[in-house]
Amino acid sequence: MNVLDTVTETIDQARRRLAAKARQEGVKLTLDDDGRWYASSVSQAGTRHYLTAYSCTCVGFCNHGRCKHNSALLACLGWLDLDDDPEPDPAGAARPDCAVCLDAGLIDAPRSRWVGGCALGFRDTWMTAVPCPSCQPVAA
């Protein structure tokens, strides 16, 4: 049996399927102050995966070269055409207009500040809700 005979979906079909899975499971994308993207982990609460348009730090991407986190980012960036999805959404399920915030208008962004002196100080970090850069563009 040839390996190519076992392929059942194209890479684009797999990415569309994974983007829909990310949307269904509630994967959240966040953008930090330096322009780095992160995605929430569904299987490991409190864990964030670092993303680029070409990679993700999750196990799925390391094993398969694609994952729901990366596919959600590609959809957010407009690099993944979701309109060609051959499988319709379940009846009554509304597709959000924004893949980043799922139409909430806000995303969680990390904030930090230096606390203490030079030798004994530490960086205090916390998450803050900020307007979604995809659907709530900042006025110039």
Q: Are 16 and 82 in contact (CB under 8 A)?
A: yes
pLDDT at 4: 55
User: Whole-angstrom Cα distance, residue 87 to residue 12?
Assistant: 13
For 91-139, what is each residue's pLDDT tens digit?
555 556 776 676 677 776 666 666 665 666 666 666 667 777 777 665 5
Q: Would you call 133 exposed, middle or buried from its count of C-beta atoms within 10 A (0-12, 13-18, 19+)? A: middle
For all residues of the chain together, what is the average pLDDT? 77
Cα 3 to Cα 7, 8, 10, 60, 107, distances in angstroms = 7, 11, 14, 21, 42
Least confident of 57-61, 71-75, 82-86: 82-86
